[in-house]
Chain A
Amino acid sequence: MSKFLQSRLGTWSGFAAAALVLFGLAPLVLSGFRLGLFAQFICYAIVAVGIGLAWGRGGMLTLGQGVFFGMGAYLMAMHLKMADAEFRGGPGSVPDFMELAGIRELPAYWAPFASPVFTVAAILILPTAVAVLLGLAVFKRRVKGAYFAILSQALAGAFAILLIGQQSLGGFNGLSYFRYFFGFTINDPVNQRMLYFITAAALLGVVAVALQLRRSRYGELLVAVRDAEERVRFLGYDAANVKVVAYAVAALFASIAGALFVPVVGIISPASVGIVPSIMFILGVAIGGRATLVGPVVGALAVAWAQTALSEQFPSAWTYAQGLLFVLVIALLPGGIASIPALAKRLKKTRTASTPAEATA
């Protein structure tokens, strides 16, 4: 089975099946509201793919992906607010929330976001560049393990506090009330479906990139750095650079997810980028199986789905049920949901090999 999945045919059939579910089945069986919700979950899954790469393959426990998610989201939100203001009041208008906050002049750093091209470029480049600089500063100094985890989490906390203080970014309330997405009205059900398709396509794209990275020489190097950094360094590689690449790719994925999250959900606020959401991202990956390709995706979707389903079922007690679920999965399935097939196989093997004649090593 796992051989098949690693073959080219297996890869293609895997992608085809995923595309069939995402583009065929989901829009068919889900109502407009549920499809929108699914798009939101897919945004989390995109972040999870990046974490799977950085943490699962690279051993970097990135507890602060909310920072990059938030960057992508706020950059996109700024463009949507600018486009909205322009549509309502002509070029140079101030977004509605600023009028309420008493800001009459458009802050200079907002102006370029009137351009869609600039915005998309910023979403792709800015968080990646920040991750590269940060990664170089951290990994060159050989900061790793718990120290890196604490650092990245502190960053997420600081980022949220910083945003709350910025009245010109909506402060604690964040940015909301988006009307148009690159010229398309957001509240039109047809366009909402398009947003879902774009999000689903982004997920497939991100998984394809992660797959290619895993299978490349770089991917092997990354695992080597995770398992024996000193040895890799001994062999003449710069382990820091290897880590920086994975960290930056994870940041890029998170930024893309954030940028899609904004039109899908319709609001971005510091509450969605701080420490708690960052931990939720990690949780999905851990539950799905961090070292596998599909595990993080499945885990992120499962956690988000469970949260919604449980809270709809038991609005006042769902947090206990969710906690219990986490404990059970981590206690019984330390390798995550993705380890179920391997576990089942091992179980079968031990059963067939109960006569201890030829147990394979």
Chain B
Amino acid sequence: MPHRFSPFKGRPARALAASAAALLAATVAAACGSRAGDESAAAAESCLDTSGDTVAVGALNSLSGTMAISETTVRDAIYLAVDEINADGGVLDKQIEIVAEDGASEPTVFAEKAEKLIREDCVAAVFGGWTSASRKAMLPVFEDNDSLLYYPVQYEGLEASENIFYTGATTNQQIIPALDYLAETGVESLYLVGSDYVFPRTANAIINAYAEANGIEILGEDYVPLGSTEFSTIVQQVDAADADAVFNTLNGDSNVAFFREYSNVGLTADQMPVMSVSIAEEEVGGIGVENIEGQLAAWNYYQTVESDANSAFVEAFKAEYGADRVTSDPMEAAYNSVHLWAATVEAAESFAVEDVQAAAGGVSFEGPEGTVVIDGENNHVSKTARIGEIADDGLLYTVWESEGPIEPDPFLEGYDWAADLTVTE
């Protein structure tokens, strides 16, 4: 066996260190980019080419990882909308081509793929994202490259980027109507249960402020790590607190464990109803209808909404993807987002980002949930709030809905009791 290590001592080390230092110095000296305070050097020019018969858009959803189960449904809705528009002659007489990418349930991958779609595939707009973490990761990419993201999921508000169109609900279109509904039905005390991340924490901050202003007592506020399935302690506390209702901001698998435990200890919707904001048609099956029948949810859309647009949407979706599939709120918002983008491009008569931004305010689409209109001030859309009750067929049926669409108010500026929640500049 040969001696594998030559007994080098100091010299090569010193020489290597010196050369490394020289390299570093050279690279730093070579840099002469803009510094803080300079008028920002123009961001990378868009490579969008609209001379051909087609225009590319991106579909960026998690097709692998923990979020895949939810986000693949959104992708299906995006494809459906694009097919419809193409069958109808396309946008500005161009057929839409989808470039699909996998966000892999990881914020860094979302940022990477977003940049790839913008800079390599030269897409006119990107549709997708689900978690707030993924949106926060993509936001600087879309701003720096001056491109457009259509984000289709309800979220915690407190954001308004010129480069993002938010087609899901913000808090005043989901959480606050849910609280109004509970207050209307005589609820005077609440117990809050949520996953430990930004949406539940923000939602509960809003709920606490609302409760204080409206004389509702908060009997407890518990958080579990995302994905946690251990609920015996929390459900016992909920049971002992004997609140009038539970406000549930749990996400994903935790709901399954929570509701199983909830019905295990004998709690029912009649005794202590649970208002959930992350349980839609897709999730009910996983939880088991028997565990969740009669409980409440707050969204803007259910498969059972009665309108011509919705019948057509549900029919087209089932024809494309199978009769056993269901449609849900985020899917509907994604479907709307593609149509809203197309309508805006038609109104602007241009695919260019600044033209689309300028033309967006007031653009409307007759969606399955009703008419949605883009608010030019904050790039959100007006939406009808609906409280649904879970029935034994696994679908949700509207038990209450707002009088017409609610204007988006992501920073809750129209609510006096919310003044302390946000720092306005």
Q: Which residues of A contact B (CB under 8 A)?
A: 6-8, 11, 15, 19, 23, 31-34, 36-37, 40, 83, 87, 99-102, 104, 161, 164-165, 167, 171-174, 176-180, 183-185, 187-194, 197-198, 200-201, 204-205, 208, 211-212, 214-217, 219-220, 265-267, 269, 271-272, 308, 311-312, 315-316, 318-319
- Contact status B107-A269, CB under 8 Å: yes
Q: Give Cα A189–Cα B41 distance, bound, in whole angstroms.
A: 9
A sample of 15 inter-chain contacts (CB < 8 A) reads A101-B201, A161-B225, A172-B196, A177-B139, A187-B40, A188-B40, A192-B33, A194-B33, A198-B27, A208-B20, A215-B5, A215-B12, A219-B5, A271-B106, A316-B64
Asked if residues B63 and A315 are in contact (CB atoms below 8 Å), the reply is yes
Report whether B12 and A11 are in contact in the complex, using a CB–CB cutoff of 8 Å: yes
Considering the chains assembled together, what is the distance between the CA atoms of A100 and B423 in angstroms?
7
Task: Determine if B16 and A208 form an interchain contact, defined as CB atoms under 8 angstroms apart.
Answer: yes
- In the assembled complex, the CB of B200 is this many whole angstroms from the nearest CB of chain A, namely 10
B17, CB-defined interface residue at 8 Å: yes
Q: Is B119 an interface residue (CB 8 A)?
A: yes
B205 touches A102 (CB 8 A): yes
Instruction: Known A33-B120, A183-B35; judge A171-B5 contact (CB<8 A).
Output: no
CB distance from B6 to the nearest CB of A (A): 6
Contacts of B100 in A (CB 8 A): 315-316
> Once the chains bind, are A204 and B23 in contact (CB under 8 Å)?
yes
Q: Are B16 and A176 in contact (CB under 8 A)?
A: no
Q: How far is the CB of A49 from chain B (nearest CB, A)?
A: 14
Report the nearest A residue to B20, measured CB to CB: A205
Interface residue stretch chosen among B108-116, B210-218, B292-300 = B108-116
Cβ distance B111 to chain A, nearest Cβ, rounded Å: 6
Asked if B63 contacts A316 (CB within 8 A), the reply is yes
- B7, B63, B119, B226: the one contacting A31 at CB < 8 Å is B119
Q: Compute how far the CA of A217 lies from the CA of B13 in the bound complex, rounded to whole angstroms.
A: 13
Asked whether, in the complex, the Cβ of B140 is within 8 Å of the Cβ of A176, the reply is yes
Partner of A266, one of B40, B132, B137, B202: B137
Q: Given the known A-B contacts A33-B119, A101-B201, A172-B198, are A180 and B36 also in contact in the complex, defined by CB atoms under 8 Å?
A: yes
Is the pair A174, B63 in contact by a Cβ cutoff of 8 Å? no
Given A189-B44, A212-B13, A269-B137; A184-B33 close (CB under 8 Å): yes
Contact status B34-A173, CB under 8 Å:
no
Contact of A15 with B19 in the complex, beta carbons under 8 Å? yes
A192 to B31 CA separation, bound complex (whole angstroms):
9
Is the beta-carbon distance between A190 and B40 smaller than 8 angstroms? no
Complex Cα spacing A19 to B20, Å: 10
Complex CA–CA separation, A165 to B197 (angstroms): 8
**Distance in angstroms between the alpha carbons of A312 and B36 in the assembled complex:** 34
- Do the beta carbons of B112 and A308 come within 8 Å of each other? yes
B12 and A194 contacting across the interface, CB-CB below 8 Å: no
Q: Check if B87 is an interface residue, CB within 8 A of chain A.
A: no
Near A by CB (< 8 A), chain B positions 121-146 give 132-133, 136-137, 139-141, 144
Cβ A172 vs Cβ B116 within 8 A: no
Residue of A nearest to B109 (CB): A311
**B106 closest partner in A (C-beta):** A271
* Nearest opposing residue in chain B for A314, CB measure: B102
Contact A33–B17 (Cβ < 8 Å): no
Given A205-B20, A217-B7, A164 and B40 contact (CB-CB distance below 8 Å): no
The chain B residue sitting closest to A318, CB to CB, is: B102
Q: Are A191 and B33 in contact (CB under 8 A)?
A: yes
Using A8-B12, A185-B33 as known contacts, say yes or no to A164 and B198 having CB atoms under 8 A apart: no
Asked if B137 contacts A101 (CB within 8 A), the reply is: no
| Cα–Cα distance between A271 and B201 once the two chains are bound (Å) | 19
* Contacts beyond the supplied A32-B119, A190-B34: 20 A-B pairs with Cβ under 8 Å: A8-B12, A40-B108, A87-B37, A171-B201, A172-B197, A173-B132, A176-B139, A177-B140, A183-B36, A185-B38, A188-B41, A193-B31, A194-B27, A198-B24, A198-B27, A208-B17, A211-B16, A220-B5, A267-B108, A316-B100
Q: Residues of A contacting B112 with CB < 8 Å?
A: 37, 40, 265, 308
Is B422 a contact of A173 with CB atoms below 8 Å?
no
With A180-B36, A201-B20 already in contact, the answer to whether A194 and B196 are too (CB < 8 A) is no
Q: How far does the alpha carbon of A359 sit from the alpha carbon of B324 in the complex, in Å?
A: 68
Q: Which of the residues B34, B113, B141, B226 comes within 8 Å of A185, measured between beta carbons?
A: B34
The closest CB in chain A to the CB of B158 belongs to A100
Q: Does B43 contact A (CB under 8 A)?
A: yes
Give residues 366-425 of B contacting A (CB, 8 Å).
421-423
**What distance in Å separates the Cβ of B151 from its nearest Cβ neighbour in chain A?**
14
Separation of A99 and B424 alpha carbons in the complex (Å): 9
> Which B residues touch A176, using CB under 8 A?
107, 136-137, 139-140
Listed residue (A7, A102, A267) with the most chain B CB atoms within 10 angstroms of its CB: A267
